[in-house]
A and B are shown apart, each in its own frame.
Chain A
Amino acid sequence: MIPLSWYLIFAACLFCVGLYGVMARKNAIAILMGVELMLNAVNVNLLAFWRYLWFTKVDGQVFVAIVLVAAAAEAVVGLALIISAYRRRNTVAAEEMDMLKG
């Protein structure tokens, strides 16, 4: 059988890759992809914990379901924002969206 640790390490790696993507990518859509990766890492963790420690209960699965919903909503809204930003400023590069600059 696979020990729990493998899943945790795997999830951690996936999470960090996603994090890197979020922080380093220029394209807003790519940032969104990074976020999706992070969310998936979270799901892997949740399911792993459910399978290994709580498989008699359903809590872990419920959390996963909620995370899925949140991910869907986040993707939809994010993409809508990106598209409208693209329409207004004709770019999707996150670092060019710096109206907040002091």
Chain B
Amino acid sequence: MTIQNLIWLIPLPPLLAFGIIVLFTNRWKSVSHSVALAGAGLSWLAGMVVFFRAVGVENLAENPLGSAIDWLPTGDTWLQIGVVIDPVSAVTLFFVAWTILMIFVYSIGYHNFGQPAGDHDHPGMPPHGATIREKKGGMHQVMSIEPMYSRFFALISLFAFAMYLLVVSDNLLALYIGWEIMGFCSYMLIGFWYGKISARNAAVKAFLTTRIGDVFMLLGLVGLYSATGSLNYRAALMNTELMEKLATTSSGVLGLSVAGLLGILIFIGVVGKSAQFPLHVWLPDAMEGPTPVSAMIHAATMVSAGVYLAIRVFPLVSAGWDGHALTPAMTVMAFIGSFTALFAATIALAQNDIKRVLAYSTISQLGYMIAALGVGSFVAATFHLVTHAFFKALLFLGSGSVIHGMEHGVLHTHDKVDPQDMFNMGGLKDKMPFTFWTFLIGGFALSGFPLITAGFWSKDEILSGSFNGGQILVFATLALSALLTAFYTMRQISLTFLGQPRTKAAEHASENKPVMTAPLVVLAVFAVSAGWVGIPKGFPLLGGLIPNWFHEFVGSMLHLEHEAEHGSVIPLLTSLVVALGGLLLGWLVYRNIPAGAKDPMEKLGILYKVFKYKYGIDELYQDVFIRPAVWISEVFSYKIVDKLILDGIIEGIGKAALGFGSALRKYFDLPVINKGLTDGSSMAVRKSGEAIRPVQSGRVQDYMLVAVALVVITGLVGYYLFGRGGM
């Protein structure tokens, strides 16, 4: 099989797994998860093969792997759809394949496969735990298996399919398809425990919020198609002179160029998908879903998809960029990105839910990438995308493992505490060593612990990119948020693992099965090593020890004459300082918090409140958008329009019609139709039927006789009329 066909086949197995599980194996849990796992594994295998083949290819950017087929006839041309593996999609494919596989494996453990069914579990609610009676008569509670186990695997399989499709597709349309499928899956998965009202609301919220972005994105795609006549990356986006043309022609909206307008439109889609500032609200609520889902959504797939799209359309937004004055689109991206980074980081400071912290940190990290794209350091953004995917997946799975252990403790010691609140934890270091060390690695990577962790390199590259790009403001913002990131990461780690257990549940928390810890280890390895492929040349001491493979590989994508060189050491120093300082600070403050103590952050007073309540954005939206919408639908459309006007009209018509109909019946139908026509015609029909009846002898041979006779006659006649000349 040629490598091109293999690329086509990458997304297929999860889709098949989805179909199989949904249609056939829904009630055999073990079969379901093995099917799903097989699907993910196959895709992973194909992905790895393709990746290493792609790495081997000489100058991949110029001649990428892939093929295309005619898909939709558009008038006289064809809308082509195809697959392509160029550097960006190659690296994306790499981390996507790994994280997805790990998440699949992890899910088996997370949903308590092999545990007994719960006493009073029912679909739509998280498992409550099952009671085990021992022979000795003692009984104790253990975790119980997820009631909708198979459904979960079906959904994440579909999710994985969508993500692979999005990665391998060579045009924005197929990407959009995968994008929307993912939107649907995230809706289903966030609302996976649909028995919880909060989960339902979160699902709807996520769906609608991302939809807002998607509408604009669709506008952008349509505009792009009408402007360039193609949605293919190479035909449309990488086609420089076309981009120049778009950049120069004005769109007439806000004085933007066409390129700028389309770029911004599509970028709004990115904002929705990867939860940038105005549309970030859905993401923290998405924590209602099971933890593997959070990891899928936040690390591996959806939000990465947003950034991936942003990277894809970078040529569009950067069209007409000369290296110094940013294009309007880039300015928007830089602004929103850096703002989101800071903003989310501040919120993350004050959250107590272990997963919410990670959610906000995700938002801020995504802000990093967007900002990096905004200041034009394309490679840095991609690099951070990869590393972030690894360590954030690691963090989420780790937090899930913590929660899982806590739940175990909660079930064991019947004190009902929230297993996700960090202030109920503490001292888990000894209870859950694997989780602790991997989480530590992840956290350090997130906060950019110097030299060893991957996060450091990518973040440093972003900082230096923004600094050398001359965007001091962006640089400062990002640096500050980096400091905060390190701080809240350390806060989280120390609250969770260090110090003394603050609850009985935490005392009895226990390490999870290898099926959950093994993925953590694997991801931890990547979280450390993924950075080493991108050590900048200009870096003191280490620079050039390992060739900066990543930079050349991805940098070859577009001709980055603008990519700034590593001139000064200021960004480096900054990143060192902020990372170490933040970590140190966090450790000092949260080293050991006694049970029931207040969060030291509260000393910040009003600021803490603001952070705690997320700047009241949700409430704002609630008041500004949702209430009015509800009011309009309630009062205006329903009460006034429906009840009064429409119903009145309809009932009037109904009454009139009724009267007319009865009159008609009395004076026309009964006398004329029934008496005259009906009976007469039926009589006639019966008579004629009696007459013709004998023809229907029921003997097949008679029918054949007639048929053949007719054939002969018509044949002869026809032949004599027309046939002779033809012969």
Q: How would residues 83 to 102 of chain A score, 1 for a CB under 8 Å from any chain B CB and 0 otherwise?
A: 00000000000110111111
A11 within 8 A of B: no
B698 lies within 8 A of A22 (CB): no
Chain B interface helix/strand/loop/mixed: helix
B139 at the interface (CB under 8 A from A): no
* Nearest B residue to A19, CB-CB: B708
Whether A94 pairs with B698 at a CB distance below 8 angstroms is no
Measured CB to CB, the nearest residue on chain A to B703 is: A100
* Interface residue from B696, B701, B708 paired with A101 (Cβ < 8 Å): B696
Give the distance in Å from the alpha carbon of A18 to the alpha carbon of B697 in the complex: 23
Contact with A along B691-719 (1 / 0, CB 8 A): 00101111111001100100000000000
Whole-angstrom distance from the CB of A31 to the nearest CB of chain B?
8
Contact with A along B477-518 (1 / 0, CB 8 A): 000000000000000000000000000000000000000000
Q: How far is the CA of A97 from the CA of B698 in the complex (A)?
A: 8
Tally of A-B residue pairs with Cβ under 8 A?
Answer: 29
Q: Does A65 contact B (CB under 8 A)?
A: no
CB proximity of B707 to chain A, nearest CB, Å: 10
Q: Which residue in chain B gives the minimum CB-CB distance to A102?
A: B696
CA A99 – CA B698 in complex, angstroms? 6
In the complex, how many residues of chain B place their beta carbon closer than 8 angstroms to a beta carbon of chain A? 11
| CB pair B698 A100 closer than 8 Å | yes
The answer for the CA separation of A24 and B701 in the assembled complex, in Å, is 8
Q: Give the residues in chain A near B697, CB-CB below 8 Å.
A: 98, 101
Residues of A near B693 (CB, < 8 A) are: 102
Contacts of A23 in B (CB 8 A): 701, 704-705, 708
A98–B701 touching, CB < 8 Å: no
Q: Which residues of A contact B700 (CB under 8 A)?
A: 94, 97
A97: B residues at CB distance < 8 A: 699-700
**Considering the chains assembled together, what is the distance between the CA atoms of A98 and B699 in angstroms?**
5
Residues of B within 8 A of A22 (CB): 701, 704
Closest to A100 in B: B698
User: Roughly how many angstroms separate A21 CA and B235 CA in the complex, as a whole number?
Assistant: 71
Inter-chain contacts of A99 with B (CB < 8 A): 698
Smallest CB separation, A19 vs chain B (Å): 7
10 A–B contacts, CB within 8 A, in A order: A19-B708, A22-B701, A24-B701, A95-B699, A97-B699, A98-B698, A98-B699, A99-B698, A100-B696, A101-B696
Q: Contacts A23-B705, A100-B698, A102-B696 known; list 13 others, CB within 8 Å.
A: A19-B708, A22-B701, A22-B704, A23-B701, A94-B701, A95-B701, A97-B699, A98-B697, A99-B698, A100-B696, A101-B697, A101-B698, A102-B693
Residues of B within 8 A of A (CB): 693, 695-701, 704-705, 708
Closest 10 CB pairs of A and B: A102-B696, A101-B698, A98-B698, A100-B698, A95-B699, A102-B693, A98-B699, A23-B705, A23-B701, A94-B701
